[in-house]
Amino acid sequence: MKVLVTGATSLVGRVTVRRLVDRGDEVTTLQRGTTDLPGRALRGSLTDPDAVERACAGQDAVIHLAARVGAAGPWSEFERVNVTGTANLLAAARRAGAGAFVHVSSPSVAHAGRSLVGAEADPANPATARGAYARSKALGERAALAASSPAMPVVVLRPHLIWGPGDTQLVGRVVDRARRGRLALVGPGTALVDTLYVDNAADALVAALDQAPRLGGRVFVLSNGQPRTAAELTARVLAAAGLTVTPRHVPRWLAVAGGSLVEQVWARTGRTDDPPMTRFLAEQLATAHWFRQAPAQAALHWRPAVGLDEGFARLADWFRSGRV
């Protein structure tokens, strides 16, 4: 099968490309920079219809991982990539005759600030999604589902907190803040949180590609199915990195107020780097986020192969190897 992968240089994108190549698929990647990944590499942006058209030509399927991420930046940038770019890719894939499309979304598209306990994939809601990233991903997900058809079934996956060796988001930020003496937990750190090890995420993407013909128009939230408290997850990341740091605890009300203030400063000054705290981040760190996994596992014929214990052991090996 000929498969186009966007966002292939991301943490999960790299593992997904190798999974596809190892099983014999012909992989084309589309990214703005260069890559050392196997397969045919094209440089271009989702916002360039011509580049997207060239990338989709002759493809049997598409896995769409690319996105504008972050907690800061003008709405126009998020909209341009996550909404217009997704629309460009969907249209080009349809014209190219692709027979399957896997769209990677985010659980944040259905998060309105409350705890999610044993939750399922509620509809994406741009009106209640918190922040430009979540709102733009909600709009992109809606466009993906609207484009699903018998000829090109679209499956939407919402992986929750992907991590593993090389992760610059969850793992990287915890370690960086710990080393700078700025690591804090919002509230007592007892909220249960789901995460997803990177190899499991890649396996799910490939499974969704294979099962797409019978799952068009459906949405699944993905996790390891092993929720742990925020305090435990933080401690295990620190242990894997060989750090002995005790995070301080910040009351939720103070984190939310501080996040609101920081957002105003970032907006007034035009800064685009990720702020240390936002209202959305404070809410997420203080509330439970874990999801019922039976529907996804049954539909995708997929189960996480790497449990948390094994994942953290691999993370510790990676830190010890000095490849950080």
Which residues belong to the active site?
133
> H helices of 216-251, where?
230-240
Residue 13 and residue 205: Cα distance in Å, rounded? Answer: 10
Task: Tell me if 224 sits within 8 A of 196, measured CB to CB.
Answer: yes
Could you give phi then psi for residue 61, rounded to 5 degrees?
-155, 160
Instruction: Kindly give, in sequence order, each residue whose CB lies less than 8 Å from that of residue 234, ignoring residues fewer than 6 positions away.
Output: 174, 183, 185, 189, 247
| CB-CB contact of 172 with 22 (8 Å) | no
- Minimal CA–CA distance to 231: which of 168, 187, 201, 282? 187
Distance CA 30, CA 119 (A): 33
**CA–CA separation, 12 and 200 (whole Å):** 9
d(CA 101, CA 76): 25
